[in-house]
Amino acid sequence: MELYELLGRLFVVILGFLIVILVTSLIFTYIMFKKRKILFPRFVLFILDTLHTPSMKLVSFFNGNEEMVDLVSIEIRNILFRDSFARIPYKDRVAIFPQCLRSLGCPARLSNIKGIECVGCGKCVLNKFREKCDKLGYKGFYIVPGGGFVKRIVRDIKPMAALGVACEWELNEAMLYLSQRIPVQGVPLSKAGCINTEVDVDRVLEALSMKENHRIT
């Protein structure tokens, strides 16, 4: 057998293997998404992280819901990091929110270092989260205009855990970055977009309060 033929066969075998792995993990992802059942979380998360774009393309090819890939990844990370996040004292945690949750009439200014500096006008839900973080003694409460701020917060503030809220795509990406450094939890927006977005307030408040022996079930 010639070398090129051998390489060709090897390529086909590897490609076939990858397709089987990808399809299998997407079947598990679909079951998790529909039935809220967690199956082989580490395996599925590894494949979805490694083959994120092919996963999205394959789901889209079958007219599936592309959000499923990010939402399932977020849920798996929430489960895997729940205990370690809950063990970190509030004073070492930060909470990071997207600016799209703000009211259109928000009077807050943007600081290059701190993000949007909420003045507590009460026009949007972020005021409630800010008050909760203050009450619990969080190390930081941030409203950010983009993912770049998340990296800056980690680099400059050095939190030991982080809770994030964002649209599923940005949240999944941020959680992937954060989880390689510190324990994370994430709550995806219930209504995404550029403005007037929404989030499950109770879920965020519960996640902020999470601590050992008092975890979300």
Sheet holding 140-144, edge to edge: 109-111, 115-117, 140-144, 93-98, 161-166, 184-188
Q: List contacts with ligand SF4 (CB under 6 A).
A: 102-103, 106-108, 118-124, 126-127, 143
CB of 104 to ligand SF4, least distance (A): 9
Write down the residue that tokens 């009460």 correspond to.
Answer: 122
By beta-carbon proximity to ligand SF4, the closer residue of 53 and 112 is 112
By beta-carbon proximity to ligand SF4, the closer residue of 77 and 102 is 102
CB of 162 to ligand SF4, least distance (A): 19
CB of 163 to ligand SF4, least distance (A): 17
Compute and round to an integer the Cα radius of gyration of the chain: 20
By beta-carbon proximity to ligand SF4, the closer residue of 57 and 109 is 109
CB of 128 to ligand SF4, least distance (A): 9
By beta-carbon proximity to ligand SF4, the closer residue of 157 and 195 is 195
CB neighbour class for 92 (10 Å; exposed up to 12, middle 13-18, buried from 19): middle
CB contact at 8 A, 183 and 88: yes
Read out DSSP for 54-85?
Answer: HHHHHHHHTT--THHHHHHHHHHHHHHHHHHH
